[in-house]
Structure 1
Amino acid sequence: MSRTVYLNGEYLPEEEAKVSVFDRGFLFADGVYEVTTVLDGKLIDFDGHAMRLSRSLNELEMKNPISKEDLLEVHRELVARNGIEDGLIYLQVTRGAADRDFAYPKDAEPTIVLFTQAKPGLSTSPQAEVGIKVIGIEDQRWGRRDIKTVQLLYPSMGKMMAKAAGCDDAWLVEDGFVTEGTSNNAYIVKDGVLITRHLGHEILHGITRAAVLRFAREAQMKVEERPFTLKEAQGADEAFITSASTFVMPVVEIDGAAIGTGKPGAVAARLREIYLEESRKAAV
């Protein structure tokens, strides 16, 4: 049975959902997206994703085609229609269809698409028990990474570079400092201090990042928001990433160097536990 997707106000079988060849998301990557996690049939951090969507659209001078209340209803309807217990909901808004021109069209109506991805056992990933391995690569993305655009070619290339090196992901490096992972925020732990890059145009303002840092501070952990180098990361006691789909995921190796004991550490494990527990409580 095919999935039911949402396209411009309609719920359709995925085979019937069509977008114009003149859509600017297709021609210019002129669009933004969000990914919301579903656990136990409920939405995790929905408010944060809705707020970031609005911010991304505003930064690109793009109309928001749906209210927050209606967007929540669409998410819930897709969860119900597709029987999603654990998984993801992908949302994309583009500037819409118009004849090809670099200038923004004046009369185009935004295109909005949502679809689900079932991920049974998402919160009990075996990978969290063993950790992931990453490589460092040059950050060659555009400068406004704080806008969650669909320009994801270089992150895709980064993941392929990591795969070719026998690793799971890549940490991007600019001017000697780690910015973030290809699709996640990056952290290290040294002498009990949790360190992650400060917010700015250089990184995505992660929704999971914000929640994890809040929980860390509530648990009386010391947090420093500052840049760090790959060398500093290799000498750390622990390292990990956060994202909507991986939650808190330990990093056990960077460019061939084992981090700490080479196994997932206690801080990452505790933060993952807290995040999942508190997020489930607040899920909608």
Structure 2
Amino acid sequence: MKWAILNGDIIERSNAKVDVEDRGYQFGDGIYEVIRVYNGKMFTAKEHLQRFFRSAESINITLGYKIEELTGMLEELISKNNLQLGTIYMQATRGVAPRTHAFPPGVVTPTLVAYTNKLPRPQEKLSRGVKAHLVEDIRWLRCDIKSLNLLGNILAKQRAAENGCYEAIQSRGQEVTEGSSSNIFIVNNEVIITHASDQLILKGITKDVILSVCAENGIAVEERTFTLEELKAADEVFLSSTTSEVMPVIEIDGNQVNSGVPGTITKRLQALFEAEITHQCGSQMNQK
């Protein structure tokens, strides 16, 4: 992927460099988004960009662009990189200023960066399911902001990797919150249960698509807190994210879920989610 966006200009990715005093580098003082691309088209772009702007507003960053402007720049970036199947990563920081913890005085221009990567769909994992590992949620209390401060998430994901698992499922005491980079769902008696979108979790765009298709197809959903005990006793468990789509969880800390195979409700949601991708991005989703 040769081209990237830096502060509104599309330039060669090798030249997209930021100052060492950028506050994103020194403090994690910024926000980010990852948008899926299928068939050369962004999936749920509007929703991702709206969340990007909400996150920026939550930490008092004025981006200086309109959503329509950013959409046009990202579409041009996809075209220049000839991306058919992959992701766009974009982030904004408070900008470059002498290092001090408080916001820099005066007007500081935010730093905006975006680039693309090729990424196939995880077809084998979607078909067979994945393993998860339980960890304590040690993150700050504003997980609804998609900030660059991801150390807690990284440590959780590393714990999962060290235990041979795809994802970490986090909990505060007995209350399940979300994965290290995903939202978590359980199914009991054909009812889907997932944590309400409050400050303890990130309001996932894929989660919102799932809730929408459930409403359209008469699938019962409860947005509420649920416990580790409920998680371990669930009929089905699945996770969702931009790159994982609707991913079955078939084992948690060595204990099988649904006899170790993806459940009926999960597979139905996978089909409905794929239909939504087709509706937005076209019928031929390249796999490579």
Give the AA of the match of 2:114: L
Quote the Cα distance in structure 2 between the aligned partners of 1:141 and 1:217: 31
Equivalence for 1:234: 232
Shift of 1:88: 0.4
Cα shift readout 1:83-113 (whole Å, capped 9, x = no counterpart) = 1111000010000000011111132100000
Contact in 1 for aligned 2:39/2:281 (Cα 8 Å) = no
3-state SS in 2 of match to 1:252:
strand
Which residue number in structure 1 is paired with residue 115 of structure 2?
A: 115
Q: Secondary structure at the match of 1:20?
A: coil
**Matched-pair contact (CA < 8 Å) for 1:169–1:181:** yes
Trace 1:46-85 onto structure 2 (pairs within 5 A). Answer: 46-85=45-84
RMSD of aligned alpha carbons: 1.2
1: CA distance, partners of 2:200 / 2:153:
14
Among residues 185, 188, 206, which one is paired with 2:186 in the alignment? 188
Matched AA of 2:226: F
Q: Give the partner amino acid of 1:70.
A: E
Q: Does the alignment pair 1:214 with 2:212?
A: yes
- Name the amino acid aligned to 1:33: Y
Query: Where does residue 201 of structure 2 map in the other structure?
Result: 203
3-state SS, counterpart of residue 72 of structure 1: helix
Indicate the residue corresponding to 2:249 in structure 1. 251
SS of 1:171's equivalent in the other structure is: strand
Whole-angstrom distance in 2 between the partners of 1:9 and 1:61: 20
| Alignment match, 1:167 | 165
Note if contact 1:177-1:228 (Cα within 8 Å) is conserved in structure 2: yes
Displacement of 1:162: 0.8
Give 1:235 deviation, angstroms.
1.1
Unaligned runs of 5+ in 2: 283-288
SS in 2 for 1:116: strand
Question: What's the CA shift for 1:231?
Answer: 2.2
Q: Mind listing any 5+ residue stretches in structure 1 that lack a counterpart?
A: none
User: How many Å separate the matches in 1 of 2:127 and 2:133?
Assistant: 20
Pairwise mapping of residues 21-36 of structure 1 onto structure 2 (< 5 A)?
21-36=20-35
TM superposition score normalised by structure 1? 0.96
Deviation at 1:137, TM superposition (A): 0.4
Matched positions, count: 281
Could you tell me whether the CA contact under 8 Å between 2:6 and 2:114 is conserved in 1?
yes
Q: Which runs of 4+ in 1 moved over 4 A?
A: none
2:286 maps to: none
Report sequence identity in percent.
38
Question: Which is further off, 178-187 or 70-79?
Answer: 70-79
- Counterpart selection for 1:279 from 253, 266, 277: 277
1:177 aligns with 2:193: no
Structure 1 residue 224, shift from structure 2 partner: 0.6
Which one-letter code corresponds to 1:78 in the other structure? L
SS in 1 for 2:148: coil
Give the 5 Å matches for 1:7-22.
7-22=6-21
Q: Check whether the contact 1:132–1:168 (CA below 8 A) recurs between aligned residues.
A: yes
User: 1:231 aligns to what SS in structure 2?
Assistant: helix
Secondary structure at the aligned position of 2:101 is classed as: coil
Q: Secondary structure at the match of 1:18?
A: coil
Report the AA paired with residue 189 of structure 2: D
In structure 2, C-alpha distance between the alignment counterparts of 1:168 and 1:244, rounded to whole Å: 15
Is residue 42 of structure 2 the alignment partner of residue 43 of structure 1? yes
Which whole-Å CA distance do the structure 1 matches of 2:243 and 2:59 have between them?
25
- Please tell me the residue identity of whatever aligns with 2:270: R
Q: Is the 8 A contact 2:8 2:73 kept in 1?
A: no
